[in-house]
Chain A
Amino acid sequence: MQQDHCIRISNLSKKYSGTSSYALKDLNLDIVNGEIFGLLGPNGAGKTTFFSIVCGLMKASSGTAEIAGYSISKDLESIKRIVGVVPQDIALYPTLSGRDNLLFIGRMYGLKGKILKERVQECLSKFGFDKNSEMPVKTYSGGMKRRINLIGGILHEPSILLLDEPTVGMDVQTRTSMMEHLKDLNANKKMTILYTSHYLEQAELFCDRVAIMDQGKILCLGKPADLIKNENGNDLEDVFLKYTGRKIRD
C-alpha cells in the first residue's frame, strides 16, 4: 500500500472529556514518504495528543488519520507492524540489560532466533554499546538510556518512525550522534520520520519540513529555510516566537 503520502491527517480533532476546549482542532497534514518531518510547538500545543493519536494510543474525537494507506481507526494492527515508536519517557525495564530489553522488544515485533540476535547486535554496535550491553539499564547514563530507547523503535526496521521528544535531556554530543543515526536511517532505509521536539535549532538542521502548532492548530508549515525567509527571521526560533508569542505556557 505504498503511497506518496505516508501520513495523511484530515480534519482531526480531539476534545478530552470534561474540558471545554479542543486539544486538536480540525488538523490537516500530509507527510510524504521518506520525509523527515518535525512537529514543533510550545507546552500544551497538542503535540503529544497528536503523537498519541497517530500511534494508536488514543482515539480522535473526529476526523481521520491514515498511515501508509491504513486507517488508524480500522487497521491499527497493520499500522503497528510498519511503524516504530520512540516514547518520550524511557520505556525500558531498568533491572534488565540493554540487550535483554531489546531482545524482548524484538520478539514483540515478531523477530525470532538468529535474526533477532543479529539484529540486536547490529543495532547495539551501531549505537556504541559494544561494552555495556549486558549491564542493567539502571546503571546507564541518561544518554545511553535514550539510545537504547531509540533502538527499541527501529529494531524491526519500520518504514515509519514516530519519535516524541527523543533528545530530551541529552548532551550535545549524544544529541548530535543520535540525529546523525536518524539521518542515516532516513537516507539508507528510506525511513519516514515524524518527530516532536522543543529543539528548534536541531529541527532546522535535521527536518525536511516542519509544522509549528499551538492550541491544537497548525500555524505554519514548510521547509525550515522557506519559513525563515518568509517571516524575515534569522532562524527558526524567530519564526516560532512570531507565531506562538512570548507568553510563558503551563
Chain B
Amino acid sequence: MHRLFSTFIKEFKILIVDKTGITILFVMPVLLVFIMTLIQHQAYKSLSQSGIPVLLVNNDNDSLGIALENGFKKFSICELTVDHGEKYKTSADIKKRIVEGEFLVALVIPKDATEVLRGNVQEMVDTFFDQKKPGQASSPQVKIEIIVDPTASKSFLMAINSSLKEMIASIKTKVLFQIMGEKIAVLLESEKKPPLPEKDFFVYDEGFALREGKDTYQPNAVQHNIPAWAIFSIFFIVLPLAGSIIYERTEGLFIRMRTFPGSYLSILSGKLFVYFLVALLQFGMIIILGKFVMPLIGLPSLDIGTHWFALTILTIMLSLSAVSYGLLVGTLFNTPQQSAVFGGISILIMSALGGIWVPVNIMPPVMQTISSLSPLNWALTGYYELFIKGGDWYAIQNQIIKLSVFFLLCTAISYRLYKLKLRTY
C-alpha cells in the first residue's frame, strides 16, 4: 500500500507539473464535447424546429392545393412561403430563387390539379359502376413539380417527399369518398350530396420506447452527444498513459524500478490508479458541462437519470477499460511514436464502429455486427440506457460484464507481454 501510495504521489506530481499534459487531459476533452454538442445541436434543431425555407406555389386554389397548403403550414421543420401564382409564374423564376439561396425546396401545384384529380377518381368510379373496361380512362395525371437545392440534405428531402405523398393520399381518399358518395346518391335518387370529409381517417400517435418510470423524452444533442463524446475522450487517455509506460520502460528508470524491493507491477499499479482517477475526473467534468454549463448557452440540460449506482459502476468500468487498453498499447509497443499512432487510430476505429460518430442502426448489417465488438459501443449503449431510456442497473448488466471482460483481457495480455518482453531486457 505504501508503494502504491508513493507511486500515486509521484505520478500526481508528474501530471501537475506538466501544464501541456493537464491541458490535453482535461481541457481538450471538455472542449471536444462542447464543440461536438454545439454542432450536433444545430442538426437536431434543423430536424425538430422551424427554419428551412420552403416555397409552395399553389396554382390550384381548390381542395388539393388548400389541403397541401394547410398540411405544409403544420409541417414544423418548414418556414413556408405560399404563392398563388402571382409572383412565381415559371419554373425558371423559382429555380433562380433557389440558386440564390432564398429557398431550399419549392413545390409547384399545377392549375386545376383538384379538377384533374377529381376527373381521375371519377373515371375510376365510373369504370367500377358503369362496367367500363379498364384502360379506357383518358384523364391526364397531376404533375406536382419539386425543385430542390442540390445542397439540401437527403433526409430533409425524404421528409418533404414523404409528407407530400401522405397529404396527397389523404386528399385522394377524401375525393374518392366524395365522388363515391355522389354516385351512390344518384343511384339512390337522393338529393343529398356528401361533402368532402374534413377529418383525416387516420391519426398517428408517435412515442418512444422507454423503460418503466420514464414518461417522456425529447431527442436533443446534449442527451445523445455528451455520453458519446465523453466515452471517446476518456479512451484517449490511452495516449499519455501508453507514452508514460513506454518512457519508463525504455529509460534507465526501468532498471532502477526493477531493482527496488517488491514487484514492478505494484509500481505500475500506482500509475494506472492515477490515470483511472483522471478518467473519472474527466467524466465528472463532462457531466457538469452537460448538466450546468450547456443550459447557460441555451442548450438543454443533460438528464443523467436517477440510477446513481448503475451510473457509477458503468463509469468505473469504462475508465478501467480505457486504462487497461492504455496499458496494453504501452506494453505492446516500444516507442511513444508507435503507441501514439496505433492508439489514436485504433480509438478512432473503435469509436466509429461503436456508434460515436453515426448511429449503429444506420450502418450496414455486417458493420452492425462488428460494432457490437467495440467497447465504446458497450459503454455508449449503457449510457443511453441510463440517460435516455430510463434503464437501471439490470438494464446495463450486459454492458458491465462486457467491459469487465475487456478490462481483464487487456490486463492479462499486457502481463503476458510484459513477461515476454522482460526476457529481451
Q: Are B17 and A96 in contact (CB under 8 A)?
A: yes
Known: A93-B14, A95-B14, A95-B17. A77 touches B253 (CB 8 A): no
A1 close to chain B: CB less than 8 A: no
Known: A56-B259, A80-B260, A100-B10. A110 touches B2 (CB 8 A): yes
B258 close to chain A: CB less than 8 A: yes
Question: Which B-chain residue is minimally distant from A86 (CB atoms)?
Answer: B256
A63 to B267, CA, bound (A): 31
Known: A57-B258, A90-B252, A152-B256. A96 touches B18 (CB 8 A): no
A77 to B262, CA, bound (A): 7
List of B residues within 8 angstroms of A109 by Cβ? 260-261
Question: Which A-chain residue is minimally distant from B259 (CB atoms)?
Answer: A85
Q: Are B256 and A85 in contact (CB under 8 A)?
A: yes
Interface string of A229-245 (1 = CB under 8 A from B): 00000000000000000
Q: Are A87 and B256 in contact (CB under 8 A)?
A: yes
A112 to B9, CA, bound (A): 13
Q: Are B261 and A77 in contact (CB under 8 A)?
A: yes
B258 to A: closest C-beta gap in Å? 6
Q: Which of B1-36 contact A (CB under 8 A)?
A: 2-3, 6-7, 9-10, 13-14, 17-18
List of A residues within 8 angstroms of B260 by Cβ? 80, 105, 108-109
Q: Are A85 and B261 in contact (CB under 8 A)?
A: no
Question: Which A-chain residue is minimally distant from B18 (CB atoms)?
Answer: A95
Q: Are A85 and B255 in contact (CB under 8 A)?
A: yes
Q: Are A57 and B10 in contact (CB under 8 A)?
A: no
B15 to A: closest C-beta gap in Å? 9
A104 close to chain B: CB less than 8 A: yes
List of B residues within 8 angstroms of A83 by Cβ? 259
B215 to A: closest C-beta gap in Å? 53
Q: Are B18 and A104 in contact (CB under 8 A)?
A: no
A149 to B251, CA, bound (A): 13
Q: Are A89 and B255 in contact (CB under 8 A)?
A: yes
B56 to A: closest C-beta gap in Å? 66
List of A residues within 8 angstroms of B13 by Cβ? 96, 100
Q: Are A55 and B423 in contact (CB under 8 A)?
A: no
A110 to B260, CA, bound (A): 10
| Max chain A C-beta neighbours (<10 A), residue from B18, B255, B267, B425 | B255
A102 to B209, CA, bound (A): 60
| Max chain B C-beta neighbours (<10 A), residue from A17, A77, A95 | A95
List of B residues within 8 angstroms of A89 by Cβ? 251-252, 255
Question: Which B-chain residue is minimally distant from A85 (CB atoms)?
Answer: B259
A110 to B262, CA, bound (A): 10
A41 to B: closest C-beta gap in Å? 20
A91 close to chain B: CB less than 8 A: yes
Interface string of A60-95 (1 = CB under 8 A from B): 000000000000000001001101010111111101
Q: How large is the interface on A (under 10, 10 to 19, 20 to 34, 35 or more residues)?
A: 20 to 34
A99 to B: closest C-beta gap in Å? 11
List of A residues within 8 angstroms of B262 by Cβ? 77, 80, 108
We find that the number of chain B residues with CB closer than 8 angstroms to chain A is 24
Q: Are A107 and B3 in contact (CB under 8 A)?
A: yes
Q: Are B14 and A107 in contact (CB under 8 A)?
A: no
A68 to B: closest C-beta gap in Å? 14
Q: Which of A32-56 contact B (CB under 8 A)?
A: 55-56
List of A residues within 8 angstroms of B423 by Cβ? 17
Residue in contact with A93 in the complex, picked from B3, B10, B261, CB distance below 8 Å: B10
A108 to B259, CA, bound (A): 10
A136 close to chain B: CB less than 8 A: yes
Q: Are B6 and A91 in contact (CB under 8 A)?
A: no
A100 to B261, CA, bound (A): 19
B114 to A: closest C-beta gap in Å? 79
Known: A55-B259, A104-B9. A112 touches B252 (CB 8 A): no
Question: Which A-chain residue is minimally distant from B266 (CB atoms)?
Answer: A108
Known: A81-B261, A85-B256, A89-B255. A112 touches B2 (CB 8 A): yes
A191 to B: closest C-beta gap in Å? 16
A83 to B256, CA, bound (A): 12
Residue in contact with B10 in the complex, picked from A90, A91, A104, A149, CB distance below 8 Å: A104
A187 close to chain B: CB less than 8 A: no
Q: Are B425 and A57 in contact (CB under 8 A)?
A: yes
Residue in contact with A136 in the complex, picked from B9, B10, B17, CB distance below 8 Å: B17
A77 to B260, CA, bound (A): 9
A219 close to chain B: CB less than 8 A: no
Q: Which of A142-170 contact B (CB under 8 A)?
A: 149, 152
B24 to A: closest C-beta gap in Å? 15
List of A residues within 8 angstroms of B17 by Cβ? 95-96, 136
A-B pairs with the 4 shortest C-beta distances? A89-B252, A91-B252, A107-B6, A91-B256
5 A-B pairs within 8 Å (CB atoms) are namely A93-B253, A95-B17, A107-B2, A108-B257, A110-B2
Q: Other CB < 8 Å A-B pairs besides A104-B7, A105-B256, 18 of them?
A: A56-B258, A57-B255, A57-B425, A83-B259, A89-B251, A91-B253, A92-B253, A93-B14, A96-B10, A96-B17, A100-B10, A100-B13, A104-B9, A107-B3, A107-B9, A108-B257, A109-B260, A109-B261
